[in-house]
Amino acid sequence: MPRFQDEVAIVTGAARGIGAATAARLVADGARVLLADILPQVQETAAALGMPALVQDIAAPGAGEALAAAVLKAFGRVDILANIAGIGGSRPIAETDDALLDRFLAINLAAPVRVTRAILPHLPRPGGAIVNVASTFGIAGVAGTTPYAVAKAGVAQFTRQLAAEYGPRGIRVNAVAPGVIETNMTEQYLEDDYYRRAILEPAPLRRAGRPEEVAAVIAFLASAEASFVTGEVVAVDGGFVTGRHPPKPGEESR
């Protein structure tokens, strides 16, 4: 029996990267999925999976209600919400202005909170599952990423708060905290030698992750296999948070 037989999911940020990989994984595991993203490319990603798409800015007023209406129109129900949409490109705090701070907080923190609030009434009790995307940068301090890191740390705490509040109602809420993953968001950083020395090489696995590796953990947390798991923030980071040490002289990175 497919892992998500007869279940319906919403995946935000689904045009590419972790969101697209998650949508593909859920579909492969038997779910029906509404793919949502601000990028029109989401329509092509969804069409390749044979699923519907919604071009939607998740930070816009009423975005959560629009997602709820779209998924109910397409499938008549929703069982899983994967809050993946977000932005990167943070700067040191001294180089920010109010507009940049507001943008990170609006898209990476306030938007998933508001979307979740709109979808919660439609999730089954028991049986509903929410998986948020935080970040290891919101767990371990990394210089130069404060606006991004603070917003993602908020997502982690939102996950714990919601798990405490909705666990008695049968809804599980977890998060993944990716490390550096090979996506459009990180492409420019992965080409920078200093970034690789500072962030990738000290991590035990000595490499960036792949979107499919994060999607696999998201799928597990959304599934009945994780039926006794809630309120967790699972690092998918090649060991970056657990222990960092630079390669020894002569040691080759993977």
Catalytic residues: 148
Residue reference for tokens 């969101």: 19
Task: Select from 217, 218, 148, 234 the least CA-distant residue to 189.
Answer: 148
Q: CB under 8 Å to 139, separation ≥6 — which residues?
A: 153, 156, 177, 233, 235, 241
Decide: helix, strand or coil at residue 48: helix
The CA angle 191-196-199, to the nearest 5 degrees, is: 135
Quickly list DSSP for 11-35: EESTTSHHHHHHHHHHHHTT-EEEE
Task: Select from 94, 84, 76 the least CA-distant residue to 45.
Answer: 84
The CA angle 62-35-6, to the nearest 5 degrees, is: 110
Q: Three-state SS across 62-115?
A: CHHHHHHHHHHHHHCCCCEEEECCCCCCCCCHHHCCHHHHHHHHHHHHHHHHHH
Cβ-in-10-Å burial (0-12, 13-18, 19+) of 214 comes to buried
Q: Quick one: which H or E segment has residue 134?
A: none
In order of 6, 11, 39, the CA distances from 177 in angstroms are 28, 16, 23
